[in-house]
Amino acid sequence: MEQNKSKDSLPITFEQLVAGYEFPPSRYELKLSVIAKYLEAVGKPSKLDSLASEFVPPVAIAAYTMTAVLQSLSLPPGAIHTAQELEFLKLVPVGATINCRGRVARKLNRGKLHLLVIELNALNQDQEEVLSGQATIVVPG
């Protein structure tokens, strides 16, 4: 996978995170070979090939955006991805380049657990938003 992070830095720890923190953005070139690898990994049946050879599956974009965030974040063992919201806003043709971004929306204490809510979005080359969403992660205290 062709990924360019905008800057090299050590992963931020969960303790260091505050609401409003923006993760370093990442850029992905969604070449046919990249998407083919993704489709093979998710076992996409051939009946979806006509769409998949033209447009990037939106959940693939969401996955790359999540990866961009998680690579920048050091979470303790036992952290669980508990909820996900996604909205697919624009078609992304195979071959496009996207910029993935994440931002801490909320960090809450719930007794022995912490709740981390991360806003996600991805932009195309024209800086148009193609995907937005929100991931919720529960972190043991």
Partner 1 sequence: MSVLNQELKLSDLHQGDNLSSVVRHITQRDINRYAEASGDFNPIHIDESFAAQTPFGGTVAHGMLILAYVSEMMTAAFGKSWLVGGKLSVRFKAPARPEDILTITGKIDSIEHKENVPYVNCGLESHNQRGETIVIGKATVKLCS
Positions that interact with partner 1 (CB under 8 A): 1, 3, 37-38, 40-45, 47-48, 50-51, 55, 57-60, 62-64, 66-67, 70-71, 77-78, 80-91, 140
Give backbone dihedrals phi and psi of 81, rounded to 5 degrees, phi first.
-80, 110
Tell me how far, at minimum, the Cβ of 116 lies from partner 1, in Å: 14
In the bound state with partner 1, the residue whose beta carbon lies nearer, of 6 and 82, is 82
Rounded CA-CA distance 106/125 in Å is 29
Would you say the C-alpha torsion 123, 121, 11, 17 has a positive or negative sign?
A: positive
User: Quick one: which H or E segment has residue 35?
Assistant: helix 32-41
In the bound state with partner 1, the residue whose beta carbon lies nearer, of 20 and 128, is 128
Rounded CA-CA distance 72/70 in Å is 5
In the bound state with partner 1, the residue whose beta carbon lies nearer, of 20 and 125, is 125
Tell me how far, at minimum, the Cβ of 48 lies from partner 1, in Å: 6
Tell me how far, at minimum, the Cβ of 54 lies from partner 1, in Å: 9
Strands (E), the chain: 2-5, 12-13, 26-29, 73-74, 80-88, 97-110, 113-123, 129-140
In the bound state with partner 1, the residue whose beta carbon lies nearer, of 3 and 97, is 3
Q: What angle do CA 70, 52, 85 make, to 5 degrees?
A: 40
Tell me how far, at minimum, the Cβ of 61 lies from partner 1, in Å: 10
